[in-house]
Structure 1
Amino acid sequence: MAADWNEIFNQISPNANEREIETKFVVPLIKDLGYDSDEYCFQFKTGLGTNAVDFAVRSNAGRGDKFHDSMTEPFLLIEAKKPSEDISKPSHINQLMSYLSHVNCHLARFGILTNSVQIQLYRSHGRVVHPLTKVLPLRDSKAEETLAKIKGLVKTSAKALTICVYNNKGGVGKTTTAVNLAATLGIIGFKRKDFVFNNNSKKNVLALDFDAQRDMTKSLFREPAAKKLRGLSFSYEGCNILSKDKAPLTECLDKNISLCEAIYSYKVKSKKSGANAKVSEVPLFDVVPANDEFKRYGEDDCKEKVHFSKLRELLAELRDKYDYIVIDCPPQVSFFSRSGLYAADVLLIPVKHSDLASLHNAAKVITEIIPQMNELRKEAELTALPVFYNDEEKDIRNDEKFRGREQEMFANELDFIVKSYGENYDLKRYFKKITAETVVIPSSATISSHSFERLPAAYKSMKVLNWYADLVKHYFLRPAKEPELNQETDVIPKKSEKVQAGIDADKVRTIRSTLYKDGKIDRKEAEALFKLNKQVSGADNDPSWKILFVEALTEHFLKDEASPGAVDEDEAAYIIDKIKADGIDGAELDLLVNIAINAKSCHESFNAFVLEALRASVLADGVIDDSEAEMLRKVIYSAVGDKGVNQAHADFLFDINDSVSGAANSPKWQKLFVRTVSEYLTKDRTSPGKIDGKKAEWLIGRIGSDGKFDENEKALLSHIKASAKEIHPKLQFLLDFFGYKFGYK
């Protein structure tokens, strides 16, 4: 039965407290949204200290549990306020946004702020929280209509987040940002070495050029006439050609043609290894390019015919198809920029720390242009994200010259901007001081040069891809395995305290909050982690304990200021001493592997220790499974780096192979063994493909050294015979003999 809202509102006192709003209004609201009593819980712990949101809601359908009992993965959060409180206060909004980002709530899709007089719905999309509605009145004749609208949005809200890249000041790299942001989002889900989003699912991305200059279009596509230019050969990976078969963007605006008719799939050419491998085209993201006639929309007669709300209308049908829509529009206030701002959910503002005008214009966008646009928008309000520093001549986060006088002047300018423009706005959340965590995209010839290839720089340079991945990670999307940081009191047990029952998930969350209270893991905390792990080793611990132990200590050792990203001799000695003391358990082995894989370089003593630890682990049961083979591969090739496989690596694998010969090992083990030993034998930099007498004698001594000639050794010899360009006669004789005897080719 539908709620009688007039009756409900009449029962609420004008001086009601939050508890009365929760029981008399929020509970009926939850039921009106279609949820049962076992699908919501009161005072839900968000995972940040003792913080709790008033209500968390999630359907039980298809879950196999009751949310009221399991209290996992809420879908909707509701925060109630007294009727006398204005829910548009920044403190209330920031509170809800913060809850939606906490460890127990970051999968929630929606949040509601209400005081029973007003209500506002927010959406959470990755790291972004933005309003889906304006602040809507409830105590009027349209209360049922308003609440029906909220219900409809919660049930059917589109999945896309629409991002407009804009600054009122030109020359700050808006188009470069839009292109590489779309490119980075588009490559998520494709495995790339050292890419932070390797474990995230594929994202559908649309980039839209809404600038009469057509810079995005020109940087990604060639004109059809380019095919006919004599003497020119375009063989670049990103050589996409515009087509007359697609509808021009201007026709979509003029004639109500669907934007689907104007979409191009942006592809790169990919060639797999092998002599006969074919080149294939891999689609990574979609693009709506701007055509030549687009510039006429800057003229008055066209602006009268097409309203700037048109783009938002055209994008409506695409919001369920894409995860992200990225709009590039020009500086200044024009038909093009107003259209982009009106269509977007959030605004990404690039600035330069040394460009005073870019900083002041960003403040003007936030305090003047966005409020004007929100007055015109009928539905959700546009939200600005904190500014980021783009096209910088140097990485100002780590530049010694920036510190001191220049940094002081910059900080003073930010303070001036906050005070001058921020009388009615909390500008500190948009203009933050530069720290080691600040997102900075350095200026680079690497970025600009690839426009000639019609290819985003993020697809040609891993360094550039990581710059933009950092932007995505901080602003839009959590890496699939990123730790969630909390803040609480010190709960790490004292040295004498024994933890017999193991560590449960709640304890892990509390320990995590202690460790990350100041944003870093110091040596004292690292010591405490090692001690605690020894205390709970072998106990029934929640899996999140091992994750925390590995991630926190990896961060401690690889973010050391003395040797960032590396494990030097002193650190290697410290780690070995801490782990070796009482034997190596599973968490410590995972830590060693994780450090080895993620470090830029490690001291040889550390690499040797990790390999020996791995040998002991994989030989414990005499069989190598998939995960062990993969672990071995990652550690060996992390240690190899640019130097190539050496004899120690090859001997290591032969020793293991001799120990597990004849067991039901994973096929990945044979593949690793054959590949790695072959690389040592044939990828000598001075004579690639040639196996000399020294290596031939080594291999002859290793083959069958355990008295067996197993399938992995046969596969190795077969591979060598097929791939080596020149083989020493001693080894050639062995290959021919074994080939004849055992029948391999």
Structure 2
Amino acid sequence: MSALAELTDSLTRRAAIGAEDVLAMRRLIWNDTQVSSEEAEAIMALNSACQLRSPEWIDYFVEVMLDYIVHQQVPQDYVDQAKADRLMHWIDKDGRVDSLSELELLIRILERAESAPESLKKYALQQIETAVLTGSGPTRQAGEFGGGALDPGSINAVEVELLRRILYAQSGADAYIVSASEAEMLFRMKDATLRADNAPVWDDLFVKGVANHLMAHRNYQTLSHDDQVKVERYEADTHVSLGRFFGRMFGQGGAELPAAAMGISTQMNDEAAAAVDHAVTPQETQWVIGQIRADGRYDTLEKKLIAFIRAEMTSSL
């Protein structure tokens, strides 16, 4: 049995990981600067098996798995669907995220990766919504978050901060933009927690999150995984023949390079595009009205939302 297998077997039987165990793990994993698939799987299994996890373990777990999933990706920092699916399969063996370390890993990937599948972001958001609606999950565990178990139908400050980080993470299409499905999730959570003792910061996240969906500028987009591969191939060519590289860019081959990679805007100028996005269209107005009417009432948070949108539109005139 290998040294890693002996250590993980011992920790699994104990069901606890302390600071000294993390030091032992560090000596066994990363000694060759690469994390293998077998090592990553062993770390995920150990995290699931041990209910008592020290803060040092949480930091180490996120650090190692982030390196494996994001930085050891080809191209680097572009998470493909296969790795995202594998991660969700590892986490979802019992149907949900069970620990702070797993949830923090999901969010950190979305924050650090240049691009990641939308399914990963949706999966992370689903964990927060489930915790709020059911009162159970990693954000309700006193041992890791410190907030303790709360009744279903309320939202705490930790959950608000995690939602904010996920919604505005850099990876994915329309980075930093709240999508329609995400805005609808905010409305669902608002309806479910309306009369609860929620964290004061929740009101601000709801109002600005929905307003972001309606009014944020969508000109910036990250390159797709395939486009980044293409860019890296062109960059590699410059080490061989700079003339050939520019010939491809401005000749027939240049058309293959993504416009975003060359700084070419395919839309109207940025200032004009931002003004168009900032305006609330008739379709968006109907969407907001539909969300407000869905539960048959015009509540305090919805009034705050409309007041904020009016103030934003007035300030831009």
Q: TM-score range by the shorter chain?
A: 0.5 to 0.7
Equivalent residue letter for 2:124:
V
How far the C-alpha of 1:703 sits from its partner, in A, is 0.9
Residue from 299, 303, 308 that aligns with 1:710: 299
Equivalent-residue separation in structure 2 for 1:549 and 1:643 (angstroms): 26
Equivalent-residue separation in structure 2 for 1:497 and 1:510 (angstroms): 11
1:644 maps to 2:177: yes
Partner residue in 1 for 2:87: 575
How far the C-alpha of 1:715 sits from its partner, in A, is 0.9
Partner residue in 1 for 2:198: 665
Equivalent-residue separation in structure 2 for 1:555 and 1:643 (angstroms): 23
Residue from 538, 543, 546 that aligns with 2:55: 543
Equivalent-residue separation in structure 2 for 1:660 and 1:556 (angstroms): 38
Equivalent-residue separation in structure 1 for 2:75 and 2:88 (angstroms): 17
C-alpha RMSD of matched pairs (Å) = 2.4
Equivalent residue letter for 2:302:
E
Equivalent residue letter for 2:47:
N
How far the C-alpha of 1:542 sits from its partner, in A, is 1.9
Equivalent-residue separation in structure 2 for 1:561 and 1:602 (angstroms): 11
Partner residue in 2 for 1:626: 157
Partner residue in 2 for 1:353: none
Partner residue in 2 for 1:516: 30
Equivalent-residue separation in structure 2 for 1:688 and 1:513 (angstroms): 52
Residue aligned with 1:666, SS? coil
Query: Quick check: which one's strand share is greater?
Result: 1
Q: Deviations over 1:136-189 (max 9, x none)?
A: xxxxxxxxxxxxxxxxxxxxxxxxxxxxxxxxxxxxxxxxxxxxxxxxxxxxxx
Partner residue in 1 for 2:247: none
Residue aligned with 1:493, SS? helix
Partner residue in 2 for 1:610: 124
1:617–1:652: structure 2 CA closer, same or farther, 3 Å change rule?
same
Residue from 552, 571, 578 that aligns with 2:64: 552
Equivalent-residue separation in structure 2 for 1:614 and 1:522 (angstroms): 30
The answer as to whether partners of 2:168 and 2:175 remain within 8 angstroms in 1 is: no
The answer as to whether partners of 2:8 and 2:46 remain within 8 angstroms in 1 is: yes
Residue aligned with 1:570, SS? helix
Residue from 565, 575, 585 that aligns with 2:98: 585
1:562 maps to 2:93: no
1:719–1:554: structure 2 CA closer, same or farther, 3 Å change rule?
same
Residue aligned with 2:155, SS? coil
Q: Deviations over 1:85-112 (max 9, x none)?
A: xxxxxxxxxxxxxxxxxxxxxxxxxxxx
The answer as to whether partners of 1:689 and 1:725 remain within 8 angstroms in 2 is: no
Equivalent-residue separation in structure 1 for 2:83 and 2:215 (angstroms): 34
Residue aligned with 2:43, SS? helix
How far the C-alpha of 1:568 sits from its partner, in A, is 0.9
How far the C-alpha of 1:635 sits from its partner, in A, is 0.8
State the identity %.
30
How far the C-alpha of 1:673 sits from its partner, in A, is 1.1
The answer as to whether partners of 2:15 and 2:49 remain within 8 angstroms in 1 is: no
Residue from 44, 48, 57 that aligns with 1:534: 48
Residue from 493, 506, 510 that aligns with 2:8: 493
Equivalent residue letter for 1:568:
D
Q: Deviations over 1:625-668 (max 9, x none)?
A: 22211111111111565473321221121111112111122222
Q: Where do 1:61-140 residues align within 5 Å?
A: none
Query: Quick check: which one's helix share is greater?
Result: 2
Which structure exhibits the higher relative contact order, with contacts defined as CA atoms closer than 8 Å and separated by 6 or more residues?
Answer: 2
Equivalent-residue separation in structure 2 for 1:561 and 1:651 (angstroms): 32
- Number of equivalences: 236
Equivalent residue letter for 2:23:
R
The answer as to whether partners of 1:572 and 1:603 remain within 8 angstroms in 2 is: yes
Residue aligned with 2:35, SS? coil
Q: Deviations over 1:13-48 (max 9, x none)?
A: xxxxxxxxxxxxxxxxxxxxxxxxxxxxxxxxxxxx
Equivalent residue letter for 2:306:
L
Structure 2: tracts of 5 or more residues without a match: 136-151, 219-272
Q: Deviations over 1:253-294 (max 9, x none)?
A: xxxxxxxxxxxxxxxxxxxxxxxxxxxxxxxxxxxxxxxxxx
1:502 maps to 2:16: yes
Structure 1: tracts of 5 or more residues without a match: 1-488, 727-745
1:522–1:629: structure 2 CA closer, same or farther, 3 Å change rule?
same
1:691–1:611: structure 2 CA closer, same or farther, 3 Å change rule?
same
Partner residue in 2 for 1:414: none
1:720 maps to 2:309: yes
1:617–1:551: structure 2 CA closer, same or farther, 3 Å change rule?
farther
Q: Deviations over 1:510-538 (max 9, x none)?
A: 112211221232211100011111211xx
Equivalent-residue separation in structure 2 for 1:643 and 1:585 (angstroms): 27
Equivalent-residue separation in structure 2 for 1:643 and 1:669 (angstroms): 18
Q: Where do 1:154-233 residues align within 5 Å?
A: none
TM-score w.r.t. length of structure 2: 0.68
Q: Deviations over 1:371-394 (max 9, x none)?
A: xxxxxxxxxxxxxxxxxxxxxxxx
Residue from 687, 693, 712 that aligns with 2:282: 693
Partner residue in 2 for 1:598: 112
The answer as to whether partners of 1:703 and 1:709 remain within 8 angstroms in 2 is: yes
Equivalent residue letter for 2:131:
S
Equivalent-residue separation in structure 1 for 2:314 and 2:213 (angstroms): 14
The answer as to whether partners of 1:662 and 1:710 remain within 8 angstroms in 2 is: no
Partner residue in 2 for 1:674: 207
The answer as to whether partners of 1:633 and 1:672 remain within 8 angstroms in 2 is: yes
1:498–1:684: structure 2 CA closer, same or farther, 3 Å change rule?
closer
How far the C-alpha of 1:572 sits from its partner, in A, is 1.1
Q: Where do 1:63-462 residues align within 5 Å?
A: none
How far the C-alpha of 1:506 sits from its partner, in A, is 1.1
How far the C-alpha of 1:547 sits from its partner, in A, is 1.8
Q: Which has the larger radius of gyration?
A: 1
The answer as to whether partners of 1:589 and 1:614 remain within 8 angstroms in 2 is: no
Equivalent-residue separation in structure 1 for 2:176 and 2:167 (angstroms): 12
How far the C-alpha of 1:684 sits from its partner, in A, is 5.2
Equivalent residue letter for 2:194:
S
How far the C-alpha of 1:725 sits from its partner, in A, is 4.9
Equivalent-residue separation in structure 1 for 2:106 and 2:213 (angstroms): 24
Equivalent-residue separation in structure 1 for 2:175 and 2:28 (angstroms): 39
Equivalent-residue separation in structure 1 for 2:166 and 2:211 (angstroms): 17
Equivalent residue letter for 2:123:
F
